[in-house]
Amino acid sequence: MRSLARSQLFTLALCVLFITSCSKPTAENPFGYPFVKPLHLKREEGKPYSGYRAFYLLTEDFEPVVESASDVESIRAVLTFASSLSSKYKVPWTHFVDANALAPAFVADDQELKRACESMIADLKAMAQNSDDCELHLHGPLNPKLLDRLKTEHKTHLPRLINESDQPYRQRRSFFFQSFYRSGYRELVSSLAYGKGFLESVIYDAKQHVLAFRPGGWDHGGDSQETLLYFHALADAGLTANSGLSTGEFGAQNWRVGNDPGHNLATIAVDDQQIIEVSPTAGPGAYLNPVLPHDLDKISSVVKDEMAVIVAVYHLGGLQKTKHAIEDGSQRPDAELESEREKLDQHFRGVADLTAAKVLYPITLRELLAIISGR
C-alpha cells in the first residue's frame, strides 16, 4: 500500500475542483487527456514473437452469479470448458476476476455455497498454474464482510479524500461511482488494495502480484479530473496497470470502450509511478468482442516497426445457468448456450490458425506487461 502523503496537495486541489465544478459532462476521449501518453510497442528482433504481426490478448470479465451452490457448479463447468479450449488451441485467458464473486467462500452462511465457491477458487488457481492470468475486477466496493475479515488479518493506513457531488455523470454509474461517490477515496483505495491482496493470496498463494485492474462498467470517472483521481487510487493500491478506458457518453452513439490496435496502449504518470493502460480493442457495438475480422483489418495500419496489441473481451458468465434465471424463465435455452460454446470454439480455432500463420501471437496480460517493462 502506498501512502498519499507525497500527494496531499494534489488530492486537496482535486477536492476543491470537484466541489466547485458544476459543468455538464462532455463526450471526452480519455486517450486525449494530457496525462495519458500514447505508448507504441517497438518490434524487437530475436524474440519468439518477432515475426508476428500482433499480440493477441484474450480477456474475460469473470463475474458469475454466485447466489446458490447450483449457480457455482454451473460456472465451474464453464471454467472447465474454457480451460479445455486453452489447452487444445494454446491460447491462454486473462481473467479479470470480480473479487466479490469469490467472497462466499469466506463469508457465506450457506455451507454448501461456501464449499462450492472454495472449489471454484481452486479451479481458477489451477488455470493460473497452467497458462492463464488472473487480475482484479470490481463493479463497486469490496464485499463489506470480506473487507472486514481482511482488515482483521492485515491492518493498513489508508489515505482519505472526502468529496460528494451531485453533478451530472458521463459514465455508467458502476465501479468509480459506486466506490468513490458512495464511500469516498479512502474506501475506493481500500477496495482496490484489499481486493488485490485477496486475489494474490487465494489464487497465487502470495507468490505473485496482481498487477492490473479493470473497472466494472468501464467506469473510471466522468471527466479528466476524476479519471486522474482514479489512476491515483490504482497507484495507491499498488496496482501498475489498467484495462478499460471508455470514450464518449454512456448510452450515446459516441460511447465505446478502448481504441484501435496501435492506439490502445498508453502510460499514465502518477507522481513517481507509471500506470500502463492496455485497453480493449474498440469494435462494433461499442466493445463486443471477440471480433477478429474487424481487428485484423485495423492492424494493417500499424507501422512496420511496431507490434500491435489486439485485446478481446468476453464474459464466461454468459454461458452460465443460474437458479434464479431458471425459476423466473429468463434462462437462455440449452441450444443457445451450446451455440455460444461452438462459436467460442471456432474463435479459438481461428486464433490458432492465425498463430500457425505467424499473424497473431497469443499472450496474457502479465506476459505483455513484462515485455513492455523490458523484463
Following DSSP, what letter does each residue of 322-343 receive, concatenated? Answer: -HHHHHHT-SPPHHHHHHHHHH
Query: 238 vs 12, which has greater pLDDT?
Result: 238
Residue 295: which H helix or E strand, with range? Answer: helix 292-299
Give me the residues paired with residue 312 across strands.
58
- Give the range among 190-204, 285-299, 316-330 with minimum mean pLDDT: 285-299
**Is residue 163 over pLDDT 70?**
no
286: left (phi over 0), alpha (psi -120 to 50) or beta: left
**How much of the chain is helix, strand and coil, in % rounded to 5?**
45, 15, 35
Terminal-residue alpha carbon distance, the chain: 23
CB neighbours (10 Å) of residue 218? 26
Q: Three cell numbers at 247?
A: 470514450
pLDDT in tens, 116-152: 999 999 999 999 999 999 999 999 999 999 999 998 8
**Is residue 5 over pLDDT 50?**
no
**Distance between CA atoms of residues 167 and 24, nearest Å:** 7
Task: Extract the runs of DSSP E, i.e. beta strands, from 198-278.
Answer: 212-215, 241-242, 246-247, 256-257, 265-270, 273-278
> For residues 92 and 131, is the Cβ–Cβ distance under 8 A?
yes
pLDDT in tens, 256-308: 889 988 899 999 999 889 999 999 987 665 444 566 777 787 787 777 889 99
**Distance between CA atoms of residues 326 and 213, nearest Å:** 32
Cβ contacts of 343-348, under 8 Å, gap ≥ 24: 344/85, 344/314, 345/85, 347/290, 347/292, 348/85, 348/86, 348/88, 348/89, 348/91
Residues with Cβ within 8 Å of residue 301, at least 6 apart in sequence: 260, 262
* Packing angle of the helix pair 224-236, 8-20 (nearest 10 deg): 150
Is the pTM for the entire model greater than 0.85?
A: yes
Give me the residues paired with residue 184 across strands.
none
Provide the CATH topology of domain 32-373: TIM Barrel (3.20.20)
List the chain domain ranges: 32-373
